[in-house]
A and B are shown apart, each in its own frame.
Chain A
Amino acid sequence: MFAQLIRPLCRIWLRRPGLLILLTLLASIPAGLQVRKIRLDTDLSRLLPTSSRAVLSGRELEKVVGGDGGYFSVIFEGSDRAALDRAVDRMAQAAAALPNVQSVESRSPVEFIRHYRYLLVPSRTLAEVSRLVDRLEAEVNPLLVDLEAEGPGGEEKPKPDSSDLESKIERYLDLPERSVSPDGRLMGLIIRPQKGITSLGATRQLFRRMTQLAEEAAGAQGVTAWVSGSNRNKVDIYDQIRQDLNRSGTLAGLGILLVLMVAYRSVRILPVVLLPIGLGLLWSYALVPVLVGDLNTITSFLLMVLFGTGVEFAVHLVMRFQAELGERGLEDALFETFRSTGRSIVTSGLATTFGMAVLIFSRFRGFSEFGIIAATAIVAIFGSMFVALPPLLVLGARFKLVQPRAEGSGRLALVPPPWVTAGVFAVAVLAAGVALLRLGFDYDFTRLQPEIPAAEAAKSRHRAVYPGFTVPGAFYVARDLPALDAALEVLDKRRQELGEGGILGTASSVRDFAPSPGEFRERVRLLGELRERLSAAWTRKVKDEKKRRWIRDLADFEPPPAAPTVDELPPEIRGRFVARDGSGEWLIALDVIGRSRDGRTAMAFTREVYGLPMPAGVRGPTGDKPVLAEILWLVTEEGPWLVGLALLGIVLLVFLDRKSLVQTVWVLVPLLAGLVLSLGLLALIGGKLNFFNIVVLPNLIGNAVDNGVHYVRRWLEMGRDIAAVQGELAEALSASALTTIMGYAGLLAAHHAGLRSIGALAVLGLGCCWFTGVVLMPGLLAILGGRSSRRT
């Protein structure tokens, strides 16, 4: 059936090969124009389904909150304090005039804060201060026991860390008008844009403009400027991914060319091999804007991978064509190539496509779009192998670009002895055990971030000026003050229910500075108690001078009779908590307790906030933690199913092709052994799966099954002569595996740790599958049921 189809095609390919190529190229011009529309979107929420809660909330509130509530910080560095002051003032003035800027915080409203100081401390914090006073009393009173101290050791017992709490109180002692580093060499200001990272274009523009303004302000005062902040990080990530893609793409391309040149020992043959792949990729990428819109972080690197994968088809076909050409005329060689190897690549192409297409069923768009693009590309490249490659082979043979070569002339025609095979098999079994026991999932997002040295220098200065300044885990938006109070009550109640081990951190809002009447009374009551306790004689025995300062200041503080109203708040404070879209709604910024970049923290926090019933008039939560959490939920939930489905589908495909259970098992042996070997090795070297590299697994399954498909087919066709098969295939399989590896290997040079982890797992996995394909497979076939005319 397949052969009957190939014969007439051969006649067409042979008759007008030049015309066919010309027509194909002309037909590809619209695709080239369409490809120019492809954009990259590095927003992580782009990886989630559009119906996910994090995405819906993010869209609804992006203009109110400003994306993820991000900011820029501009830090000036120099030894002249007056020059730093002038630079900050000039920058503040210039930044405030920019159209996309919501607020600029360059001076602290010192008089206001000094006047109200401890009344601006929320009652929950004052209660913590009361607990701190309990401990201080216990420290100076030998008859009191601090019940919170842990373990034996008397006075040496570790005390609960109160430095954060104390720094919250101490900041009212020497209120600086400026944000300055402890050594006084750095001075900063915070700029909050109207739009957040959801409008990356606007954010990049703003970043460039601010960098320019900061450098002008710094230059005029003879100081240095640094631009940092969460929004700069997003811009950096985007730029870094683009740079990584260029670098990785170049390296991958060069690597693939090198492998092809070595495999064919010819440069002239390269256009014949590469043009069909290029055309296939062009056709498929022309569909990207229609099928998925923009590329995302995970699909961004796919081009090189598909290039590497697509080369496999051409490698097998061209090598087989060369072998046939050595024995037959052009037409018969072409026919035999596409009848036999053509059928193999149909099976392996379908398997690879299936491995990729399985991802389409994922709700995680990082996977599903990967699947859509990859499956489309494999089909397109596969199509190109039957449209563009045959006429190119004909032209190549006629113009001596493609030279014939003798069957079995491969230099890798070694069949391993049985003990090597048995050894590899044992190692694979052992690796499976290691993988099962030790392989874990990496939830730590800090290990998946790009490393950007230039940004790190700015970040370290930012941290020196604004220690502990972070983007909150989530935001809520309250319609009015009563709704705000009701929401704060819900959060406070839940925080109390969760106790100290809870995940909910501070909920910052305008109420911190303009408390409700009830909260004001509670603050006054707690302050009264604290003042009385801190006025007692024991405080004279506190040895730490820093503690004695805040104790004296708090004891002497006479609270004003009334709290400030929201209208009395200075704009620097009010601006932080009011909606950025001018609607007059109020923001609640909710912090996370725990390692904020750890995915498990993000999941626990999101589970908690998603379960909180908020009162009417309150929207949210939105922020980066829910996005991270939903990504991890989807990936960890769907990952095993996708891998299982890919395996199952490929087993079925192979069975349909082979129509024999035994042969199906033979085909799958190198794949399964390679897979467990690579996972075991990954676990042994301390590697983990993560939400970036897990996408490699179904992909790997689709790619690596090729080895078995080709091997078993030729083994049967060549009368089970394993040495002859090894002579023909070992080099082709090695070349095709190496080209795919090269496609991924470029990612090893990426600065983005997530992308790098994809490259690492893929290179390891493909390497292992190649090893089991050319070492385990021939050995097993030799042991299980073959003959070897040429064992070496």
Chain B
Amino acid sequence: MSRGFLMLSLLSLLGRPLAAGPLVEALKARQSKLDAILARHPGELPPAEKDKLGRILTETLDFREMGKAALGAEWDRRSDAERTHYLKAFEDLLRASLLRKPDIYRVNDVQYGPEKLEAGAGRVLTTVRSKDATTEVEYEFLGSAGQWRIVDYKLDGVSTVRNYRSQFAKILAKSGWAGLLDRLRKRASEIAAET
């Protein structure tokens, strides 16, 4: 175990902010990969590049944790097979939604706030400036050194997980489990077809 990791673990236990830690570094690395692709293609992205963009955007996401949190208490009521089907549909939806408007990743500047780490959880607030707007994006992580994965992202205070949890609860109440899966699959394929 390295000395740096020991230090990080201690600080994360205390829950104190860090100026630039592994979470920020991970986000910065991801942003530079995105910038490189987008810089090569000022216009519309070719399909292959879009795929690459998608891989970069999703490789840091923990779909299982996000899907579980978005489902709320319903997660516990579902069998393993049902969870697997659901997670696949959820992942497809998220992946499609992230690629729906690739131009939103063309940013002028990203400012990274301090990291907050606490008991295997982390949070980073970033301010993204683009041509049209300034957006606060807050990332929530789970994991440990070298294995941090994003489990929620909030744009201007809108939590992706909470919004989906709210939408899923209403669809479950209205159309049941099958209705939810149908809806996820239908919307994912619609958005994928658009892009």
Q: What is the interface of chain A, defined by CB distance below 8 A to chain B?
A: 127, 130-131, 133-134, 137-138, 140-149, 151-154, 496, 499-500, 533, 535-538, 540-541
Contacts and interface: CB of A to CB of B under 8 A. Distances in A.
Q: Which of B133, B136, B158, B163 has the most CB of A within 10 A?
A: B158
Contact of A143 (B155, B166, B183, B194): B155
A548 to B, nearest CB: 14
Contacts of A149: 187
A-B pairs with the 9 shortest C-beta distances? A536-B157, A538-B156, A537-B156, A137-B158, A141-B155, A499-B174, A141-B158, A537-B157, A538-B158
Given A496-B173, A538-B157, A142 B183 contact: no
B170 A131 contact: yes
A130 B166 contact: yes
B31 interface: no
Interface of B: 93, 96-98, 100-101, 104, 133, 136, 153, 155-158, 160, 163-164, 166-167, 170-171, 173-175, 183-184, 187, 190-191, 193-194
A139 B191 CA distance: 15
Contacts of B136: 537
Q: Please indicate which of the listed interface residues A127, A146, A147, A533 has the most CB atoms of chain B within 10 Å of its own CB.
A: A147
A153 B190 CA distance: 8
A593 to B, nearest CB: 14
Contacts of B171: 147
Given A131-B166, A152-B193, A500-B174, A147 B183 contact: yes
Nearest to A499: B174
Contact of A499 (B153, B155, B160, B175): B175
Contacts of A142: 100-101, 104, 155
B156 A140 contact: yes
A17 B160 CA distance: 100
A143 B170 CA distance: 20
Contact of A541 (B93, B98, B133): B133
B163 A137 contact: yes
A143 B157 contact: no
A138 B167 CA distance: 10
A582 B187 CA distance: 55
Given A142-B100, A145-B93, A538-B156, A134 B163 contact: yes
Nearest to B100: A142
26 contacts: A131-B166, A134-B170, A137-B158, A141-B156, A141-B158, A141-B160, A141-B163, A142-B104, A142-B155, A143-B97, A143-B98, A144-B155, A144-B158, A144-B163, A145-B97, A147-B183, A149-B187, A152-B194, A153-B194, A154-B100, A500-B174, A533-B157, A536-B156, A536-B157, A537-B136, A537-B157
Contacts of B174: 499-500
Contacts of A541: 133, 156
Contacts of B158: 137, 140-141, 144, 536, 538
A147 B156 contact: no
Nearest to B98: A143
A147 B166 contact: no
Contacts of A499: 173-175
A154 B194 contact: yes
A142 B157 CA distance: 13
Given A131-B166, A131-B170, A145-B97, 19 more contacts: A137-B163, A140-B156, A142-B100, A143-B153, A143-B155, A144-B155, A145-B100, A146-B167, A147-B171, A149-B187, A499-B174, A499-B175, A533-B157, A536-B158, A537-B136, A537-B156, A538-B156, A538-B158, A540-B156
Contacts of B100: 142-143, 145, 154
Contacts of B173: 496, 499
Contacts of B98: 143
A137 B194 CA distance: 21
B34 to A, nearest CB: 14
A373 to B, nearest CB: 52
A151 B190 contact: yes
Contact of B166 (A134, A153, A154, A537): A134
Contact of A147 (B157, B160, B167): B167
A134 B167 contact: yes
A144 to B, nearest CB: 6
Nearest to A146: B167
Contacts of A134: 163, 166-167, 170
A124 to B, nearest CB: 11
B156 A145 contact: no
Contacts of A127: 170
A495 to B, nearest CB: 11
B184 A147 contact: yes
A379 to B, nearest CB: 60
Contacts of B156: 140-141, 536-538, 540-541
B104 A145 contact: no
A154 B166 CA distance: 22
Nearest to B183: A147
B155 A538 contact: yes
- Which one of B100, B163, B194 has the greatest number of beta carbons of chain A within 10 Å? B163
A152 B170 CA distance: 22
Contacts of B175: 499
A134 to B, nearest CB: 5
Nearest to B184: A147
Given A147-B187, A538-B157, A138 B133 contact: no
A240 to B, nearest CB: 44
Contacts of A130: 166
Contacts of A154: 100, 194
Contact of B160 (A133, A140, A144, A535): A144
Identify which of A130, A133, A538 gathers the most chain B CB atoms within 10 Å of its CB. Answer: A538
A499 B163 CA distance: 21
A535 B157 CA distance: 9
A496 B176 CA distance: 12
A540 B156 CA distance: 9
B163 A138 contact: yes
A317 to B, nearest CB: 70
A145 B187 contact: yes
Contacts of A536: 156-158
A538 B175 CA distance: 29
A452 B175 CA distance: 45
Nearest to B153: A143
Nearest to A157: B190
A137 B153 CA distance: 13
Nearest to B173: A496
B178 to A, nearest CB: 13
A153 B166 CA distance: 24
Contacts of B153: 143
A536 B138 CA distance: 12
Contacts of A153: 194
A667 B194 CA distance: 70
Nearest to B188: A145
A255 to B, nearest CB: 59
A77 to B, nearest CB: 44
A143 B156 CA distance: 12
Nearest to B179: A499
B191 A145 contact: yes
B81 to A, nearest CB: 23
A545 B183 CA distance: 31
A131 to B, nearest CB: 6
Contacts of B187: 145, 147, 149
A141 B159 CA distance: 10
Contacts of B170: 127, 131, 134
